[in-house]
Each structure stands twice: as structure tokens, then as C-alpha cells.
Structure 1
Amino acid sequence: MARAIAAMAPAGVRTGCRLIREGDEAYLLPAEAGSIPARQPAMRRASGAARLLAHRLLADAGFDGFALLRTASGAPAWPDGITGSLAHDDDMAVAAVAPVGQIVSLGIDVEPALPLPDEISALVAMPADRTGTADRQLAGRILFAAKEAVYKAAYPLDRQVLGYEDIAVNLETGHATTSTGREVSLIYCVAPRVVVLAFVDDDGV
């Protein structure tokens, strides 16, 4: 799965994935642990797993030991000059980072490769969405992950809270548009989980 995510990422974007393990909460740096209000062990394990990935990716970019504090919006505070995103489901954590340049903002999401429940699909899928040739069983799940990733990429730029109805996704062309007019590119893979990487390049700013 790590190879599949890395292969789909644009040039300059570093990615990683990790199965969440018992004890991963220990990878939270002290300042990170203090900034994360969740007390449930499973949530702290997932946060630790995702931040372990981010620590490694940031170290490769010259930011060894950087503490990714949780902001009021829930997103991590990345170093100056870096854009990034974290995500996890119940079992897997993923991360993506890149220097700000051609790419100005990133979003990532991971979901199990299972059909999206009908009641959630009814909230997520909108008439403007296009799923193209995506697997019919997984199209709803991919669409859900795409909108989550697009929101993460758009929010740091526009500071606007978006609902599913505010994001129109076209999986066939690999693009999404928000109600604020933000254009976001997206790529996805199913290997063996659904992972969507969304990004805004300097043409979309």
C-alpha cells in the first residue's frame, strides 16, 4: 500500500502509511500529547501512528523533532514552508507532506475498501458529483474520502467550513470544486484501502 500511495503522489510530495499498533500513543511528542484533547486510547494510538509517519517525513525534509500541535480547527500546525495532512481509519494511518511551492496545500484521507452505508451515501453524494468508472461497490466510499481530502486541502486556504454539498467531485477528471470557487486536484487508489490525496497547486490559488 505504501508503494501505491507513493506512486500516485505528485512530484515533491512525501507519503507514508502504517498499521495502527498497540502502544502507538507513545509516539506523540509531549507537546503533541498535550494539544490533543481525546482521551480514548484508540484515538490517541491513531494520532500517535499518524504523527510518527509525519515525524519521519518531516525529518526527511529537514524538520527533525518538529512537534505537530493540534490547532483549534483540529488540523496539525505544520512548519513554515510545509503543507501536509494526516488521516486514519480504525486500522491504518496515512500522512503526506510537501514543501510549499508548485503545491500550496494538501489533504489526505483513508477509508476501508467497503461499500459506504446507504444512509451516509445519501448525505455525501450530490447531483453534481461524477464517479466515472470507479468501482460501483466502492464509488460512494471513494467519493466520501475525496470530499474529506478536498476539505483538508481547501480549508487552510479559504478558512471556510464546507459540507458535503459544498464540494463537487469528478473522479473521472480528478478534480473537485468547492462552493468558494476553489479548484482542487485529486488522485485515489484502492490498495487495499481507499486512499485519496487532494492538492491545490499554484494555478488553483
Structure 2
Amino acid sequence: MPAANPSPPDLPGETSLARALAAIAPYGVHTGCRFIREGDETHLSPEEARSIPARRPAMRRASGAARWIAHRLLADIGIKNVAIPRAPSGAPVWPDGTIGSLAHDDDMAVAAVARIGQIVSLGIDVEPALPLPDDIFALVATGADRMGSAGQRLAGRLLFAAKEAVYKAVYPLDHQVLGYEDIAVDLKADRATTTTGRRVSLVYCTAPRVVVLGYVGGVED
């Protein structure tokens, strides 16, 4: 299992983001965050480390930070001493009876976990609270997207994070690769739909970082 290195104190921004995530998370979903630190790669268990092909230190640190969070969230629901390896698809493999999702940007890692129940799949994404570059927005946005009252400055970033979270939520269910054009986001209705027929509920925060959590219920309404 991961090395039991002591964790340094929370860095500025971690506590406020943790509170924001807890405020938006649906009942039964546990969330957490962590600034990526030097040495976080040591939090990978041997099984996890073998499953992650990335050799760049930054990528392994990010994977270790995300799993550091997930291990603790799983422990909170009574599941300890388990590995979360990476599947060939790139998705994390969760212990039986649980669902979850991991994400990171250059500086922050986030995770969400839950026991399988009323929610059957989760997806999460984190992004810096900065405008999305115009060239990326042009790739992500379609005429089917509805931004609602999302602030113009972060609307593109929020849309991008929403589509990433939706993809992570539906891929374990359908095992189909979706492009941005296959996901229609309606932030006014807090929902997204996919060309595979999935409807995904969305919750999000935009400060101190943009984080979107997408989830699929046991009965899609």
C-alpha cells in the first residue's frame, strides 16, 4: 500500500475548495482535494505504480496525490488497504461496491467516491479558475450547449470541465469513446445528455477552482 508519509499542513486554497466540494456533493458522495506536492508519487501502492505507464515525475505525482485523497475517502466509508489501479482505458479501477472519479490540473488533485446505490456512476474534473482559451472553446462548444447564468469569464472553462466530468461518468457504463460534440451541456438545468442516451446530473463550483461533478442515478429521469 502507499507509503505512510506524513502529510504537510493544508496549503492556502485547499480548505476553501474542500468546503466548496462538500457543499455541492450529492448525499452519499464523499469528496476531497489536495495541492500536488513534491513526493506525492510515493503515495502510489506498488500495484498502482505498475498500472500507471507515465514516467514523467509530474504525472506520477498527480496520480499519487489523487489516490492519496481517494484512499482516505474510501477509509471514511469503511474500505481500507485497497489499491486503485489504472485500467488500460485510463480509468481508475474501484473496489467492488464502490464508484468514484479522480482528476487533476497542474496544481490540484480532486477525488469523489461513493458506495453504489442511488448513484451508479461518478465523474469529476478540476480546472483553474481562468478563462478557457478561444481555440479550445471552439473545439468544445456546440450549438446544443446551454450556458444559462454561468459567468461569461468562466463559462468556457465550466463547459470544458462539465464535458470532461460527463465523459468520466458515462464511460464505465457504456464503454464508448465520446467526443465533445457527443455531449450537450445545459448548465441552466444542471444536466447533460449524450448521444448514447445518457442523462447526467451536474453540480459545480467556480471558486477557488472550477470543479464539476457529474453523476448518473440508478433511475434516469
TM-score range normalised by the length of the shorter chain: over 0.9
Matched, 1:143 2:143: no
Percent identity, please. Answer: 73
Distance of 1:182 and 1:66 partners within structure 2: 30
Aligned partner of residue 153 in structure 2, secondary structure: coil
Name the residue aligned to 1:42. Answer: 58
Name the residue aligned to 1:56. Answer: 72
Which residue identity does 1:106 align to in structure 2? Answer: L
Which residue identity does 1:133 align to in structure 2? Answer: S
Name the residue aligned to 1:188. Answer: 204
Q: What is the aligned residue count?
A: 205
Name the residue aligned to 2:19. Answer: 3
1:1-205 correspondence to structure 2 within 5 Å? 1-204=17-220
Runs of 4+ more than 3 Å apart:
none
**Superposed displacement of residue 15, structure 1:** 0.2
**Superposed displacement of residue 107, structure 1:** 0.2
Aligned partner of residue 176 in structure 1, secondary structure: strand
**Superposed displacement of residue 173, structure 1:** 0.7
Distance of 1:53 and 1:65 partners within structure 2: 13
Aligned partner of residue 71 in structure 1, secondary structure: coil
Farther off after superposition, 55-64 or 180-189? 55-64
Distance of 2:141 and 2:118 partners within structure 1: 30
**Superposed displacement of residue 63, structure 1:** 1.5
Spell out, residue by residue over 1:20-77, the C-alpha distance to the aligned partner (whole angstroms, 9 max, x if none). Answer: 0011001001110011000000000000000000000111122211100100110110
Spell out, residue by residue over 1:85-115, the C-alpha distance to the aligned partner (whole angstroms, 9 max, x if none). Answer: 0000000000000111100000000000111
Which residue identity does 1:48 align to in structure 2? Answer: G
Distance of 2:35 and 2:111 partners within structure 1: 12
Distance of 1:7 and 1:113 partners within structure 2: 18
Name the residue aligned to 2:11. Answer: none
Distance of 2:81 and 2:106 partners within structure 1: 26
RMSD of equivalent CA atoms: 0.8
Name the residue aligned to 2:12. Answer: none
Q: Which runs of 5+ in 2 are unaligned?
A: 1-16
Distance of 2:98 and 2:220 partners within structure 1: 17
Name the residue aligned to 2:4. Answer: none
TM-score normalised over the length of structure 2: 0.92
Which residue identity does 1:107 align to in structure 2? Answer: G
**Superposed displacement of residue 9, structure 1:** 0.3
**Superposed displacement of residue 198, structure 1:** 0.2
Aligned partner of residue 196 in structure 2, secondary structure: coil
Distance of 1:27 and 1:69 partners within structure 2: 12
**Superposed displacement of residue 204, structure 1:** 1.8
**Superposed displacement of residue 203, structure 1:** 1.4
